[in-house]
Amino acid sequence: MSGVGPDNPVRRGADRGSEPVAGDIPRHRLTVVSGPSGVGKSSVVGELRKLEPDVWFSVSVTTRAPRPGEVDGAHYHFVDRAEFDAMVAEGRLLEWAEFAGNRYGTPREPVEKALADGRPAVLEIELQGARQVRAAMPEARLVMLMPPSWEELVGRLTGRGTESEAAVQARLAEAERELAAAGEFDHRLVNADVREAAEHLLNLLTDQQ
């Protein structure tokens, strides 16, 4: 016999308080977080990491040079072009794209392992990669992080101070294209406040639909 009782509990929303817990996260879920450069993807994903340690975050390979403070193997795996192209040729990337003059890709095996282990997995990638994931894994959930306004986006990107003027311009050109594709995403999330956006993202990761 099945039913709810002391020997057969279910976790009802009212019993859990407001904090989602890891055990509630649907298994095998892949979530893609995209959005224009400077919108706050790294900030929001970093906050999500603090909120929910059970979530697994992909570490991409890139041909971009490390920024000061970026750690190889933590922020990215920094590789040269030959190494990157070999990974493509060997089918070791789930998706990859060229963005503002550099290549970026998601190593396939760690994602598959995280999902097989039952951990919800998050990829922080740009639009072309998000489209490839959608084609390869239609069940993946696509979230676009949006700026409160274009002016705010420009302010954040230039305020970060990590890019040359040319790199900022290349990113803003990409940003227009990315925002124009917002309708392709399952969810659009405005990043006005990092903590709030991370909590919304966590809600998307933990909802049961």
Ligand X SMILES: Nc1ncnc2c1ncn2[C@@H]1O[C@H](COP(=O)(O)OP(=O)(O)O)[C@@H](O)[C@H]1O
Tell me which residue has its CB nearest to ligand X. 40
Binding mask 43-62 for ligand X (x = CB under 6 A): x-------------------
The entry of ligand GDP, ligand X, none near residue 104 (CB within 5 to 8 angstroms by kind) is: ligand GDP
Sign of the torsion formed by the C-alpha atoms of 149, 182, 45 and 89: negative
Member of 31, 40, 55, 60 binding ligand GDP (CB under 6 A) = 60
Q: How far is the CB of 104 from ligand GDP (least distance, A)?
A: 3
DSSP calls for 32-56:
EEE--TTSSHHHHHHHHHHH-TTSE
C-alpha–C-alpha distance, residues 2 and 7, integer Å: 10
C-alpha–C-alpha distance, residues 171 and 5, integer Å: 55
Can residue 200 be called a binding residue for ligand GDP (CB under 6 A)?
no
Can residue 77 be called a binding residue for ligand X (CB under 6 A)?
no
Is 42 labelled a binding residue?
Answer: yes
Member of 20, 25, 32, 41 binding ligand X (CB under 6 A) = 41
Is 32 exposed, middle or buried, given 0-12, 13-18 or 19+ CB atoms closer than 10 A?
A: buried
Angle of helix 127-136 relative to helix 165-180, nearest 10 degrees? 40
C-alpha–C-alpha distance, residues 149 and 164, integer Å: 22
Can residue 102 be called a binding residue for ligand X (CB under 6 A)?
no
The residue to which tokens 């809600």 are assigned: 203
Is 35 labelled a binding residue?
Answer: yes
Member of 106, 119, 134, 200 binding ligand GDP (CB under 6 A) = 106
For residue 181, what are the CA distances in angstroms to 10, 76, 151, 197?
40, 25, 19, 20
Within the chain, where are the H helices?
A: 13-16, 41-51, 81-89, 108-116, 127-136, 150-160, 165-180, 194-206
Q: How far is the CB of 111 from ligand X (least distance, A)?
A: 20
Can residue 93 be called a binding residue for ligand X (CB under 6 A)?
no
Can residue 115 be called a binding residue for ligand X (CB under 6 A)?
no
Q: How far is the CB of 1 from ligand GDP (least distance, A)?
A: 49
Member of 20, 105, 120, 147 binding ligand GDP (CB under 6 A) = 105
Binding site residue list for ATP: 35-42
Footprint of ligand GDP (CB under 6 A): 37-38, 41-42, 60, 64, 95-97, 99, 104-106, 124-126, 128-129, 171
